Amino acid sequence: MTKAVSGFSKLSKEEKIHWITTNHFSNPEQAAQEIKKYWNSDSDLQKLHDEFIENTISNFYLPLGVAPNFLINGKNYTIPMAIEESSVVAAASKAAKFWSNRGGFKATVISSEKIGQVHFIYKGDTKKLKTFFTTIKPKFFTDTESITKNMQKRGGGILEIELKDKTAELEDYFQLHVTFETKDSMGANFINSCLEQFAKTLKEEAKTFELFSEEEQNIQVVMSILSNYVPNCIVRAEVSCPVTDLKEDKHISQEEFAEKFIRAVKIAEIEPYRAVTHNKGIMNGIDAVVLATGNDFRAVEAGVHAYAARNGKYSSLSHAKVQDGIFTFWMEIPLALGTVGGLTGLHPLVKMSLQMLGNPSAHELMQIVAVAGLAQNFAALRSLTTTGIQQGHMKMHLMNILNQFNASEQERKEVVKHFEKHTVSHSAVVDYLQTIRK
């Protein structure tokens, strides 16, 4: 059992690695070599990565791939994707090529409002609190002028501040519910700075409000924090074409494909067990682009899945229909993204990814990311309703299996050739590899 360590964050990187390897590995020297193998040879670049987080000991690599041929609102994109899962980039690329010949993807930002809240406890007359809030509301704006000045120059800022009574759900609980526009930044630091100032103003002004009793003057702020649930920061992505243009699989007619595809989507709309996996497929595309562009994929995941359950039951994010002979597949999702601030100006590959996309605005990036998710969903549903998903996925997974067993270049060629005509499975690949080696 490892002993607790004190002052770990104050150790040098070498000292941290020495403590970790001697306390957690049977061969400390080998473990240290493995950790250092992933250091960047450029010391300045490594120092930059070291300072992204605390207690950095090495770099954890993910593949950065690209999916070309995305036609979005009439403009061609090559989309960067950082992800480890086999077949995701290939599936996105295939869907992009399919729709590039059928008018491409259409994407629209419907709204881009973000939310922050000051959660507080007030024990007193609610009518008095409402009067107090109306009286001091202008001061919330004036007290944050130094914070909002630059954001306002870019067309953003505080849109609205509301007092919400939540006492029916939790005793003495109220909140300041604040709506923001943060333009090209994700805006987390901006929002949180504003909220903390609101909390100070709220508490200070309460102490001298003449209608309050002594107890009512003692407003207790529990916390001030932005919300990652952004149901009014919505982007729509869609594709459409005549059903007759859906012909690509010789084993199924266009009409049957459209019918099966729509049925698969409707199953995800009503069956949560399927909806979770259905939406996970969408997030394969979304997370990969969010990560490649230096945005917070955990915040995006949390917000998107909350949105999928907004009507009281977890459901599909995407929808499909045929009307007057036209097949339409679409999705509306919340995406709070930024193209300035955070890692966007620090991480070299994030900067390259944004350059690859033409240095998009936050609204343009929302459209690109939503399209990547819709493309991924289309590719998955297309496979599921025709050939099945495992055939393509396992062929992509073949290289991972061969790497796991340290296959030589000659062995790789023989195995790949063999499985051009045979079904790929982990056990089948291992068995064939063993046969070759005998």
Active site residue 44: no
Under 8 Å CB-to-CB from 128, ≥6 apart: which residues?
A: 211, 212, 216
Active site residue 85: yes
Q: What does DSSP assign to residue 271?
A: -
* C-alpha span between 313 and 315 (Å, rounded): 6
Give me the catalytic one of 280, 305, 321, 363: 280
Structure tokens at 185: 């930044």
Active site residue 296: yes
Give me the catalytic one of 16, 183, 278, 393: 393
Count of residues in the chain = 438
Active site residue 280: yes
Sheet holding 114-121, edge to edge: 157-165, 173-181, 114-121, 220-226
Give me the catalytic one of 296, 347, 364, 397: 296
Residue 153's H or E segment, with its range, is: helix 145-153
Answer yes or no: are the C-beta atoms of 16 and 8 closer than 8 Å. yes
Under 8 Å CB-to-CB from 378, ≥6 apart: which residues?
A: 95, 98, 99, 239, 329
120-146 exposure pattern, b = at least 16 Cβ within 10 A, e = fewer: bebebeeeebeebbeebeeebeebbee
Structure tokens at 322: 């045929």
Give me the catalytic one of 18, 49, 85, 177: 85
Could you list the active site residues? 85, 280, 296, 393
